[in-house]
Amino acid sequence: MPSNSHPVSLPARPVLTPLWTPEQIAKRVADLAAEIDQDYVSNPPVLVGALKGAFIFLADLVRAIQTPVEIEFMRLSSYDAGTASSGRVRISSSPEREAIEGRPVILIEDILDTGLTTSAALRHLRRKRPSSLTVCTLLDRPERRVVDVKADYAGFTFSGHFVVGYGLDYDQQYRGLPGIYALDAGAQHQ
Ligand code: IMP
Ligand code: MG
């Protein structure tokens, strides 16, 4: 797509600083998969991927898990654009009740930030009566939390930095980067 047809303006000169390499991510994903295998050994869970941001994490995680899991998706949006939270959470699709009722469910998230999205997702999933419900997030930024929600499994815990790559976006860009980067969106002022 020609750059002048993009509907929202991206930073003119974004600066991407590497935080975690693909190798470091793969190692953490393998660790998380091993933890999940251990915790759910006799009770295969349904993994519910939170779209869009968790799609790459879920794809790698599911290939590292040995337990025969099932996969569902739900579509959530909390950020309208850019790096500022809109504070609103929209759930535009979610698993059928039959897919998760009576089953152990793990919600797979890209990042736990204010916690608004995850707590809305958990409330929604709980109404469909899973036998248990836990959260596995690739990234956790607890300093930004405004509601009380915790990750049962977290890949990397950090502070500051708006991050992109490995599924995470800035205005729908950068999801395909294989590593995770801090985005300095203010770089156009330099
Ligand atoms: P929360 O509701 O504030 O916890 O936000 C969760 C959602 O906001 C995530 O699923 C992401 O889509 C988005 N988000 C929060 N922080 C970042 C970030 O640093 N980079 C990219 N997306 C983010
Ligand atoms: Mg996003």
**Chain segment 105-146, per-residue pLDDT in tens:** 999 999 999 999 999 999 999 999 999 999 999 999 999 999
Q: Where are the beta strands (DSSP E) in the chain?
A: 15-20, 46-51, 70-77, 90-93, 104-112, 132-140, 153-157, 163-164, 180-184
Q: Report the mean per-residue pLDDT for the chain.
A: 90
Model pTM above 0.95? no
Please tell me the distance from the alpha carbon of residue 122 to that of residue 106, in angstroms, as a whole number: 10
Is residue 53 in contact with ligand 1, taking CB distance under 6 Å? yes
Query: Annotated catalytic, 184?
Result: no
Ligand 1: atom nearest CA of 120 is: 2
Please tell me the distance from the alpha carbon of residue 10 to that of residue 163, in angstroms, as a whole number: 15
185 CA → ligand 2 middle, Å:
15
User: Which tokens sit at 174?
Assistant: 């950068």
Cβ burial 85-114 (10 Å sphere, 16+ → b, else e): beeebebeebbeeebbeebbbbbbbbbbbb
67 CA → ligand 1 middle, Å:
28
Is residue 111 in contact with ligand 1, taking CB distance under 6 Å? yes
Domains and CATH numbers, the chain: 15-184 (3.40.50.2020)
pLDDT band at 13, cuts 50/70/90? confident
Burial class, 127, CB count within 10 angstroms (exposed 0-12 / middle 13-18 / buried 19+)? exposed
**Chain segment 151-182, per-residue pLDDT in tens:** 999 999 999 999 999 999 999 999 999 999 99
Is residue 108 in contact with ligand 1, taking CB distance under 6 Å? no
User: Which tokens sit at 178?
Assistant: 């294989």
Ligand 1 pocket mutation pick from 17, 117, 148 by most atoms within 8 angstroms of CB: 117
53 CA → ligand 2 middle, Å:
6
3-state class (DSSP) for residue 149: coil
Query: Higher pLDDT residue, 185 or 40?
Result: 40
3-state class (DSSP) for residue 18: strand
Least confident of 60-69, 74-83, 164-173: 74-83
